[in-house]
Structure 1
C-alpha cells in the first residue's frame, strides 16, 4: 500500500457558469484570481489550472494541486471561514459547482 504523505494531491471542481459572468468567473477562478491568491498563502500549494470545455462554452474544470492531501485539508481547516465567505460570494457566477474528487498522483 502506498504512503500518500508527500504525494502530490489535486482536487478537481466542475462548474457550469452563467454565461453573462464568463469574464468574471475566468478571472476569479483563474491564475490571478481570488482563489489562487488565497491558496498561495500556503507554502504547500502548487498551483491551479483552469480548463474550458471545447463545445460547451459554459463548462469549466478547475484543478488545484497541493503538496499532499494532508496539507490541503490542514490549510482548508485554517481558512474555513474565509473559504466559505468567498465561496458564497462567487456562487452567483455559476449555475452549479461539482466536486469531482480528490486525486493522489500515482
Structure 2
C-alpha cells in the first residue's frame, strides 16, 4: 500500500527569555527530534524563524504517513507529554496550523 508523505505544522510565539532554550529543544537535534527518531515513519523536522519577528516560529514535521505520526503519538504518549510539559512555559502562544499532504517526491520511501 502506497503512503503519502505528510507534514503537520505548528506556530509558536516564544517568550524572549526562553528563546535559546526553545531553539535548542525544537531544533534539528533537540528533544522533539530525538523522540521522533524513535518512531517508524519519521522523516525530519524543520524549524523556521520569522524574518520580521524573531520570537515567532513554525515547526514542520515530516512523516511517511499520517498513520505513522498517529502510531508514534500512541506509542510514545508518555514521553511526548513529558517534553510538552517541559516546554509549556517557553511560549506566549502556540497554535496548531494543520496536517498537510506533501506534494513532493523529495523523500525516498
TM-score over 0.5 for the pair: yes
Report SS of the residue matched to 1:92.
coil
Matches within 5 A, 1:62-101: 62-101=59-98
Can you give the 5+ residue segments of structure 2 that lack an aligned partner in the other structure?
Answer: 104-109
Can you give the 5+ residue segments of structure 1 that lack an aligned partner in the other structure?
Answer: none
Match of residue 103 from structure 1: 100
Which runs of structure 1 show a deviation greater than 6 angstroms over 4 or more consecutive aligned residues? Answer: none
Of 52, 57, 69 in structure 2, the residue corresponding to residue 60 of structure 1 is 57
Alpha-carbon RMSD across the aligned residues, in angstroms, is 1.3
Encode CA deviations 1:43-85: one digit per residue, 9 max, x unaligned: 3100000100011111000000000001100111111121112
Q: Provide TM-score, normalisation by structure 2.
A: 0.90
Distance in 2 separating the partners of 1:42 and 1:74:
8
Of 39, 47, 60 in structure 2, the residue corresponding to residue 50 of structure 1 is 47
Match of residue 106 from structure 2: none
Number of aligned residue pairs: give it.
Answer: 103
